[in-house]
Amino acid sequence: MARASFSRLATQIIVSPTPGSRNNSHRPPYSITYPLLATSTFSLKLKSLHTPRLPSVVSFSGGDGGGSGGSGSGGGGDSDGDAGERNKAEAIMALADVGRSLDSIPQDLSAAIEAGKVPGSIVYRFFELEKSPLLGWLLRFGGFKERLLADDLFLTKVAIECGVGIFTKTAAELERRREKFTKELDFVFADVVMAIIADFMLVWLPAPTVSLRPPLAITAGGLNKFFYGCPDNAFQVALAGTSYSFLQRIGAIVRNGGKLFVVGTGASLVGTGITNLLIATRKVIDKSYAGESEDVPILSTSVAYGVYMAVSSNLRYQILAGVIEQRILEPLLHQQKLILGAICFAVRTGNTFLGSLMWVDYARWIGIQPRE
């Protein structure tokens, strides 16, 4: 028997084993009952916790006699409220199922559970991720936690993107420099490092998340309040009890576009600046090198790259993460992680190749690279 104390929830849950489930034919139903007072606590009594995650039929009855919650994908406050109650009840049962309490999990996740923002499936995913030493360590950081809870392959996709970026950038440098490649490894290193930073941010910023952010201050401005309600990916699936308007999804594209403009411009400024510094150093050391190299225009190249990332890269990676992966591939291949990872690798490699072609065309179109 398990006993735990929680607060601020008013409902009764009656859980009955699904007919036909293995080993369930002789198990009596159990119930969770707690009062309606917002400041009171409740006792959680479960008579059967030895067979976790068995299929169950869950019925809800609230103090106001309301029925079961809706899907939470949109609509009015009643359905969102019912979905929030259901989320909280599922999450509490998940905690009891694994023998954990709200005090034993991160504070932001605990607050999200109490607010009814996350369903039981997210709580189970947290405990599964926690078993890995690396992922368990990354769960200590809010940004990684929000992304890993939404996508348990997030770290794999970061590795894919950065690995493909290193390979393609190095191959491009080799093709460009040819016999000078080994003599100009310092240039190659600077370019590859900047590419890795850009590739990481292209996975990080448009990735779907499970929002665990604390509420905004009452004094927050209207613009902050609007972007606070926007998803991190314009196309991501909303959890039960959460809904995004069309304007909020557009806001996600605008916000990420602004961030990627800063990232792209900054990375290009640093990379181009380092390249020009290395060129100047080479000219001082090797006088013959002066006639072989040409300074790269820093500001125009950096701003152009920032605009490219804010528009082309932003839209491509939002669609890739929110539509192709989360809405198409993951529902079809959720149980075949190896196949899912392989397809994600192929799709992301193709997206990187497409992006390289688009960048060359764009750079030639605006005049920062010579036309052939």
Tens digit of each residue's pLDDT (9 = 90 or more) over 64-75: 333 333 333 344
What is the number of other CB atoms lying within 10 angstroms of the CB of residue 71?
Answer: 14
Q: d(Cα 108, Cα 117) in Å, to the nearest integer?
A: 11
User: Order of strands, edge to edge, in the sheet holding 56-61?
Assistant: 30-34, 11-17, 56-61
Tens digit of each residue's pLDDT (9 = 90 or more) over 106-140: 999 999 999 999 999 999 999 999 999 999 999 99
pLDDT at 263: 94
> Is a pLDDT exceeding 80 seen at residue 234?
yes
- What's the CA gap between 257 and 79, in Å, rounded? 33
CA R_g for the chain: 26
Considering 9-23, 186-200, 251-265, the range whose residues carry the highest mean pLDDT is 251-265
At residue 296 the predicted structure's pLDDT band, cuts being 50, 70 and 90, is: low
pLDDT in tens, 15-61: 444 444 444 444 444 444 433 333 333 334 333 333 344 333 333 33
Q: Binning pLDDT at 50, 70 and 90, where does residue 150 land?
A: very high
Spell out where the chain has E strands. 11-17, 30-34, 56-61
Q: What is the DSSP string of 200-224?
A: HHHHHTTS-----PPPPPTT--HHH
Q: Tokens for 307?
A: 């605009």
Q: How many CB atoms lie within 10 A of CB 4?
A: 18
Mean pLDDT computed over every residue of the chain: 79
Residues with Cβ within 8 Å of residue 63, at least 6 apart in sequence: 10, 11, 36
Q: How confident is the model at residue 79 (pLDDT cuts 50, 70, 90)?
A: low
pLDDT of residue 364: 85
> What is residue 23's predicted lDDT score, i.e. its pLDDT?
43
Q: Which residue has the higher pLDDT, 127 or 275?
A: 127
The predicted structure's pLDDT at residue 80: 65
Q: Which two tokens stand for residue 354?
A: 């497409």
Identify the band that residue 195 occupies on the pLDDT scale cut at 50, 70 and 90: confident
b/e burial code for range 97-117 (CB count within 10 A of at least 16 → b) = beebebeebeeebbebbbebb
Residue 336, pLDDT > 60, answer: yes
The arithmetic mean of pLDDT across residues 86-90, rounded, is: 93
Q: Is residue 346 pLDDT above 60, yes or no?
A: yes
CB 123 within 8 A of CB 102: no
Mean pLDDT to the nearest integer, 296-307: 86
Q: What is the DSSP pairing of strand 11-17 with strand 30-34? A: antiparallel
Is the pLDDT at 2 greater than 60? The verdict is no
